[in-house]
Chains A and B, each alone.
Chain A
Amino acid sequence: MIQKEVTLLNRLGLHVRPAAQFTKIAGRYKSDVFLVRDGMRVNAKSIMGVMMLAAGKGSKLIIECIGEDEAPLLNELVQLVENKFHED
Chain B
Amino acid sequence: MKISPPKPTVSHPLYTGGELVLRGIPASPGISIGRVHLLVPETPVVQPRKIAPGEVPGELVKFEQALTATAAAIERSKDRALSVAGIAAAKIFDAHLLILDDVVFQDDVRARVTREQFCVDYIVNDVLGHAIDVMDKTEGELFRERAADIRDVRNRLLRFISGKGDVMPEAPAEPVVLVAHDLSPTDTLHLDRHLIEAIAADTGGLTSHTAILARSLDIPAVVGVTDLSWRVKAGDQIVLNGNSGKVIVHPSESTLEEYRAKQQRYRAFVSSLENLKDLPAQTADGHEVQLWGNIELPYEAESVLGHGGTGVGLFRSEFMFLTRETVPTENEQFDTYDRAAEILAPRPLVIRTFDLGGDKLHGSINLKEEKNPFLGYRAIRVSLTRRDLFRAQLRAILRASSRGNVRIMFPFISGLEELREAKAVVAEASAELDRLRIPHDPQLKIGIMVEIPSAVVIADHLAEESDFFSIGTNDLTQYTVAADRGNDMVSNYYRSFHPAVLRLIQQTIRAGHKAKIPVAICGEFGANPVAAPLLLGLGIDEISTNATAIPEIKKTIRTLSMADCRKIATRALRMKTAAEIQTYLSGELKSRLADLPIWFT
Contact = CB atoms under 8 A, between A and B. Distances in A.
Interface of A: 9, 11-13, 15-16, 20-21, 23, 27, 43, 45-49, 51-52, 54, 56, 83-88
Contact of A48 (B105, B359, B369): B105
Contact of B143 (A15, A49, A88): A15
B146 A45 contact: no
B135 A51 contact: yes
A47 B98 contact: yes
Contacts of A43: 104
A88 B159 CA distance: 37
B140 A86 contact: no
30 contacts: A9-B369, A11-B359, A13-B142, A15-B142, A16-B98, A20-B98, A27-B103, A43-B104, A45-B103, A46-B103, A46-B105, A47-B98, A48-B99, A48-B131, A48-B150, A49-B104, A51-B146, A52-B131, A52-B135, A54-B139, A54-B140, A54-B143, A56-B139, A56-B143, A84-B363, A86-B325, A86-B361, A86-B362, A87-B322, A87-B361
Contacts of B325: 21, 86
Interface string B478-496: 0000000000000000000
A63 B361 CA distance: 24
A88 B361 contact: yes
Interface in B93-112: 95, 98-99, 101-105
Contacts of A15: 142-143, 146
Interface residues of B, number: 28
Interface string B423-442: 00000000000000000000
A85 B325 CA distance: 9
A80 B89 CA distance: 27
Interface string B112-150: 000000000000000010010011001110110010001
A13 B102 contact: no
A9 B359 CA distance: 12
A30 B278 CA distance: 60
Nearest to A12: B142
B101 to A, nearest CB: 8
A47 B140 contact: no
Interface string B346-388: 0000000000000111111000010000000000000000000
Interface of B: 95, 98-99, 101-105, 128, 131, 134-135, 138-140, 142-143, 146, 150, 322, 325, 359-364, 369
Contacts of A83: 363
B28 to A, nearest CB: 23
Contacts of B131: 48-49, 52
A88 B102 contact: no
Given A15-B146, A56-B139, 9 more contacts: A16-B98, A46-B105, A47-B101, A48-B99, A52-B135, A54-B135, A86-B361, A86-B362, A86-B364
